[in-house]
Amino acid sequence: MAHSNARLTFHGRRLIVARHSQGWRQAHIAAAMGVSRKCVKTWIDRYTAEGEAGLHDRSSRPHTTPARTPASVEQQVIELRRAQRQGQDRLGPELGLPARTVSRILRRHHMPYLRDCDPMTGRPIRASKTTAHRYERDRPGELVHMDVKKMGRIHDGGGWKAKGRENGQTGAQKRTRIGYDYIHSLVDDHSRYAYSEILADEKGPTCAGFLLRAAQAFADVGITRIERVITDNHMSYKRSHTMRDAIATLGARHLFIKPHCPWQNGKVERYNRTLADEWAYHQPFTTNQQRAAALAPWLNSYNTDRRHSALKGLPPISRLLPT
């Protein structure tokens, strides 16, 4: 197939044929056109056999692909992707296929990226945005990311995610204000090990208490020292004396992101999206207590079983314990 830097287009091939018909030697044509003698002979022979139609572009796709994944296996990949809504790093090991093979199958069947899909239905809902700037600290505890994810509580009986958008909330539910859950999270930069709690607010004392409990949870798995804590510029982080005292108790340094630059706290921001996709919205819950009870099992799976693409398909715990 011709491309933007190709030496020969359809008109260039016609020129080769024309010069050959004028008596030019093939070596001279090749030198004048800046191509090989073999290339000149190919187009002359094709013109002799097929006429001018033989000078048009043809697909470079091979006639046969004996090593291609069987259609039945490709169908298994598509069905499992639709059922579990997982990426190639998790589908591949489950099906006994390389992650790259699963990725190519998904692209070949025009399956959208998970980041562009609604976590409940799997339908595309948004465009993607990526960054080429990445970093990772050298050791566990050198830097931890801290943030709060705010989620509306669930009415008894479930909301629209359980009942469907056409049903939504009843009038009584709309008049009843049940408030929000505040999911506080701490993520280690090096290992991506995470700890989360559902708390009643995001005030300074609440954040400080969570940080100390999270530090103890990190110590239990081998992250015995937290050197730096990075947060956004929320007043509960920046102006709270209890938060300042908690960080001093850990012997850590408090870092703040640049205003309006949430990607500087990107590891916990990305974790928040995973938290929403795979815990809060992955299945419909009929009560708020049911959703809250599902957090601890999911968090344990995230740290010990879930494959992480940034860790070459290994879970976060693999960077903390001997493997």
Q: Which amino acid would we find at residue 28?
A: H
Q: What is the pLDDT of residue 97?
A: 93
Q: What is the pLDDT of residue 160?
A: 57
Ordered strands of the 144-152 beta sheet: 194-199, 180-188, 144-152, 228-231, 253-256
Q: What is the pLDDT of residue 128?
A: 47
Q: What is the pLDDT of residue 217?
A: 95
Q: Which amino acid would we find at residue 249?
A: T
268-299 pLDDT, tens digit each? 999 999 999 899 988 888 889 999 999 999 99
Angle between the N-to-C axes of helices 37-50 and 10-21, in degrees from 0 to 180, rounded to the nearest 10: 90
Q: What is the pLDDT of residue 163?
A: 55
Q: What is the pLDDT of residue 298?
A: 95
User: Residue 246 has which token pair?
Assistant: 């908690």
Q: What is the pLDDT of residue 132?
A: 47
User: Residue 221 has which token pair?
Assistant: 């798995």
Residues, the chain: 323
Q: Which helix (H) or strand (E) holds 245?
A: helix 241-250
* Spatial distance between the Cα atoms of 234 and 238, rounded to a whole number of angstroms: 6
How distant, in Å, are the alpha carbons of 79, 296, 308 from that of 122?
Answer: 12, 24, 20
**What's the average pLDDT block by block, 10 residues per block, for the chain (323 residues)?**
70 93 94 92 94 88 86 93 88 92 92 81 64 74 95 78 56 69 95 95 95 95 94 94 95 92 90 92 88 95 90 89 59
CB 169 within 8 A of CB 155: yes
132: left (phi over 0), alpha (psi -120 to 50) or beta: alpha
Q: What is the pLDDT of residue 170?
A: 59
Per CATH, the homologous superfamily of domain 144-319 is Ribonuclease H-like superfamily/Ribonuclease H (3.30.420.10)
